[in-house]
């Protein structure tokens, strides 16, 4: 164990955590705006170019960012490569290393609670990612054929992509949550720190929609008065 390797691993975990936290917020914001079409479609249509572009941009961000987390070939920093890194440095996750890093005395309760990372831990996480293979394949298809390149078939028939590579909200959310769970397992074993991957300020957009709602209501009221006079 060296300070340089320690810092490299901590930075690796921090960057992955930042990516998942940001992705979680972007994804939930995208879903929330789509949900608000149920009761605020009139308000969204006050600025259709803005809101439709925003929705499409959020979706693009979600697809590309989630792929970046799980693509072990094109992305140099991702969950797949992190697991390889962790496997090569298992000693960093031992209880002994944890004790030294946290400057804990023998018998400290943190040592009793500590769960080191083992090869079995890494195997479990690899299997969990492997279990998402079909969903990831669809996700990569969206990225490669819709956003990174323009596939001729999907260019002329966009609806075919939804049929050939179906994706559901719950599937994407599960991938994001799985990434957060994996990262926290290694971060906890490393120095006891974990990240709460709660989306931030997702509902702020409701304030904008409420303002547009009141504007629209006042406009309707004024028209009613004008017609009566």
Instruction: Provide DSSP, 156-223.
Output: H-THHHHHHS---HHHHHHHHHHHHHHHHHHHHHHHS--------SGGGHHHHHHHHHHHHHHHHHHH
In a domain, 20, yes or no: yes
Q: For residue 58, what are the contacts with CB-CB under 8 A and spacing of at least 6? A: 26, 27, 29, 30, 33
In a domain, 184, yes or no: yes
SS3 of residue 83 by DSSP? helix
- Alpha-carbon 194 to chain mean position: 16
In a domain, 229, yes or no: no
CA atoms within 13 A on the CB side of 202: 21
In a domain, 55, yes or no: yes
For the chain, the domain total comes to 1
What domain range includes position 159?
3-202
Both tokens assigned to 202: 């997702």
In a domain, 215, yes or no: no
Give Cα separations from 51 to 9, 146, 223 (angstroms). 40, 20, 26
| Cβ atoms 190, 10 nearer than 8 A | yes
User: What's the pLDDT score for residue 227?
Assistant: 55
Main-chain phi, psi angles of 76, to 5 degrees: -80, -25
In a domain, 32, yes or no: yes
Cα–Cα distance measured from residue 176 to residue 174, given in angstroms and rounded to the nearest whole number: 5
In a domain, 48, yes or no: yes
The vertex-75 CA angle with 181 and 149, nearest 5°, equals: 115
Cα–Cα distance measured from residue 59 to residue 23, given in angstroms and rounded to the nearest whole number: 11
User: What's the pLDDT score for residue 224?
Assistant: 53
In a domain, 123, yes or no: yes
Q: List the chain pLDDT tens, one digit each, 229 residues.
A: 577 899 999 999 999 999 999 999 999 999 999 999 999 999 999 999 999 999 999 999 999 999 999 998 877 789 999 999 999 999 999 999 999 999 999 999 999 999 999 999 999 999 999 999 999 999 999 998 888 777 778 787 888 888 999 999 999 999 999 999 999 999 999 999 999 999 999 999 999 999 999 988 887 555 554 555 5
Q: Which residues of 16-52 are buried (b: 16+ CB within 10 A; e: fewer)?
A: bbebbbebbbbbbbbbbbeebeeebeebbeeeeeebe
The closest alpha carbon to 63, from 160, 159, 151, 176, belongs to 176
User: What's the pLDDT score for residue 225?
Assistant: 46
């Amino acid at each position: 164990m060296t300070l340089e390797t320690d810092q490299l691993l901590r930075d690796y975990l921090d960057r992955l955590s930042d990516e998942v936290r940001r992705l979680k917020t972007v994804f939930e914001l995208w879903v929330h705006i789509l949900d608000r079409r149920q009761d605020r479609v009139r308000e969204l249509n006050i600025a259709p170019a803005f809101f439709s572009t925003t929705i499409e941009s959020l979706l693009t961000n979600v697809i590309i960012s989630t792929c970046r987390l799980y693509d072990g070939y094109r992305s140099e920093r991702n969950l797949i490569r992190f697991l390889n890194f962790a496997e090569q440095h298992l000693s960093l996750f031992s209880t002994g290393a944890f004790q030294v890093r946290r400057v804990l005395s023998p018998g400290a309760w943190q040592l009793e609670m500590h769960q080191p990372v083992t090869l079995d831990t890494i195997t479990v996480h690899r299997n969990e990612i492997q279990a998402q293979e079909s969903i990831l394949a669809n996700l990569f298809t969206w990225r490669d054929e819709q956003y990174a390149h323009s596939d001729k078939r999907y260019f002329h028939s966009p609806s075919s992509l939804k049929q050939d590579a179906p994706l559901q909200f719950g599937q994407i959310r599960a991938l994001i949550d799985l990434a957060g769970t994996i990262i926290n397992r290694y971060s906890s074993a490393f120095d006891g720190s974990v990240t709460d991957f709660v989306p931030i300020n997702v509902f702020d957009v409701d304030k904008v929609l409420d303002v547009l709602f009141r504007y629209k209501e006042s406009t309707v009221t004024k028209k009613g008065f004008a017609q009566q006079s």
